[in-house]
Chains A and B, each alone.
Chain A
Amino acid sequence: MQVFVKLFIPNKTIFGADELKIDISEGTSVENLINVLSNKLVDIPLDREDTTVIVNEKRASREQILKDGDKVMFFQILAGG
């Protein structure tokens, strides 16, 4: 199974890509995905509770189980001004 994680600045620059394809196993939750990504993405480390998770264009809980092909984005307070 694969999910697509949309990247924004600065991760977009770091990875040189618009999105990451992440292989996941059956039953992987949003929380599990965050744990996998927390060492990779600059967005994540502040405090994981800070991050709004959006899956397939709708807000998602940490417990939500991901499905094959899901599109995930993380939204942080850094946007705006």
Chain B
Amino acid sequence: MLNGFMGKLLFVNLTDGTIEERKLSEEIAKNFIGGYGIGARVLYNEMKPGVDPLGPDNVLGFIPGLLTGTKALFSGRYMVVCKSPVTRGWNDANSGGYFGPELRKAGFDGVFIKGAAKDPVYLWINNGKVEIRDASGLWGKDIVDTENTIKEELGEKNLRVAMIGPAGEKMSLIASVMNDGHRAAGRGGSGAVMGSKNLKAIAVRGTLQVPIANPEYLKTVNKNIVAAMKNGPVSPIIETLSRYGTGMGVVEAILGGDGPVKNWTGVGFSDFGEDGSKEMSPQVADEKYRVKKYACAECVIGCGAIYNSKEGKYAVGETGRPEYESLVGFGSLMMNTNYEAMMKCNHICNIMGMDTIAVAGTIAWAMECYEKGIITLEETCGIELNWGNADAIVQAVQVMADQSTEFGKLLALGSLGAANKLGKGFECLVTINGIELPMHDSRFSPGFSRTYYSDPTPGRHVKGGLGWYNLATPKTKYNYEGTGQMDKTITAGVEIVNCLGLCLFPDMFGIKSHSEYIKAVTGWELGEEDLLQTGMRIFNMRHAFNLREGWTPSNINIPNKRFAGEPPLETGPASGVTVDYELLTKNFVEAMDWNPSTWIPSRSSLEQLGGLEDVIKDLNI
């Protein structure tokens, strides 16, 4: 028995209905630990390069982190992996809630879906027993209805579900995988891949236990973390996060230059303004709408909340409090100041299963095109997409979700897909390799530009790099010399946090005990250097997937360089800034020991990491 693991991976082929359990090897467990680490290793083995992301040969994985399902604090996360139909390369998306722990307790360290069903199905995993069930009655249902119907059908109210909504069924490229009502593995079109397999949902129920090497030590590590949170210098910030959620600093971010404005063409103070951001104040919103607190599994912060928007034309009833990304996306990015409209947009995305970042980025692109006369009223099917028009924004989100109009079908392709179809609007895109950028401005925190540009999952704010570090280093953030080693070290660290199944927030506040948790759960003694190596192994594994797909630095799709400040903003906190993202990337590539022209890793760097012998062979290095 391998402590810290259930020891089994589940493979389900929906084309022929075969269900196969495979033993998780100790080598893979040790080298890739969990989450998308194990996911990248498995998909590299199971997939051939060049497959259609929306065809049956794509493999879709659901993998909890190493600590997920244990009592380790903040460990409730799982990851969805596949080849992305958006970037056409490696994809992983990460979600909290309770699905991840339940999947492990149901007996598996990961589930991998191959093939495609002829008719809609869902998977039922109940304490090690696996069944493929008819989902024709679920097709067309939203997230809430789907979960309730499955619970009723199976007579099990304690099960957890990861599922797609109507957006995923229609294979919209902005479709997410949803769980627990308002938790999303949102990015990269994993919901579309699930839809392409005719897989509506995976329902799980588990009462098994993840074997723990040293349960007493695990309790001690937890106690130490709680003490550090309560008594440490970061306790006021943790209290604020607990009270107001990830949007606690949203006004500050928009005015300060972190949150983009007007599809990255505007400035917080002068364009959106203090009045514009008034309704978004977490204090104002919380007093008005808050019903109760929400926390993911094993979280003692609880940054979520349930709001009730019960009056007015945008009323949706009880709904998950919008997170920071969604607030900036449906707020300043589109110049919208109506908080209830933001909640409505967020709610539609949640129940229909769409990535709020991609939805917001796509509509903001369309608004800029509309304002500049690139897209006409006829092409929007009558929606007047002027900046800040809350009615129009809500309408656009709705038609994106149900694809009830030609414009809705267009937007469901994402902004690059829509621009390609129209043959225009490329100058207004804020995408890298087709994916809309998150709500952290790389002109304000230049490190994000390297991550957005060259991470194996481009355009992410939850991947490693200097972006978050730059927010805390205002004096030196625009100095681009010698950044490689720090960038590499932080990147490896974030790989570890994610693949352990931990939330990034405590880590950002310096609350972390990775080695201690690994020791308590698995019994392994891994020091800082070992974790750095493991993080780099996982990063290179994801990168190798893309290299095998033919990715090179020269074929990364950058329609324009707005994200790097070309041309620079004329006013505001990032005025005059042009970010040298190429130098930041060059520094990172050097530190990684990759070829500067091809980004192919050196043989010695991969040999040193170990566990990548087949990659060395495939790359012929």
Contact = CB atoms under 8 A, between A and B. Distances in A.
A42 B248 CA distance: 14
B573 A9 contact: no
Contacts of B249: 8-9, 76, 78-80
23 contacts: A8-B251, A46-B237, A49-B473, A50-B473, A52-B256, A57-B267, A57-B269, A57-B572, A57-B573, A76-B252, A76-B471, A77-B472, A78-B241, A78-B248, A78-B249, A79-B249, A79-B252, A79-B256, A79-B324, A80-B253, A80-B439, A80-B440, A81-B303
Contacts of A50: 472-474
Contacts of B575: 58
Nearest to A55: B573
B244 A59 contact: no
A81 B240 CA distance: 13
Contacts of B508: 77
Contacts, number: 110
A45 interface: yes
A13 interface: yes
B258 A80 contact: yes
Most buried by B among A6, A8, A42, A73: A8
Interface of B: 233-234, 236-237, 239-241, 244-253, 255-259, 267-270, 281-283, 303, 323-325, 439-440, 461, 468, 471-475, 505, 508, 571-575
Given A78-B237, A80-B249, A81-B505, A9 B283 contact: yes
Given A8-B252, A51-B474, A79 B282 contact: no
A57 B565 CA distance: 18
Contacts of A57: 267-270, 571-573
A42 B252 contact: no
Contacts of B244: 9
Contacts of B239: 10
A13 B257 contact: no
A78 B240 contact: yes
B253 A79 contact: yes
Q: Which 10 A-B pairs have the closest CB atoms?
A: A79-B249, A81-B246, A75-B256, A79-B253, A52-B474, A77-B471, A57-B269, A81-B324, A8-B252, A50-B472
A79 B237 CA distance: 10
A12 interface: yes
Interface string A1-25: 0000010111011000000000000
A55 to B, nearest CB: 10
B282 A9 contact: yes
A33 interface: no
A78 B249 CA distance: 7
Interface string A42-81: 1001110111111001110010000000000101111111
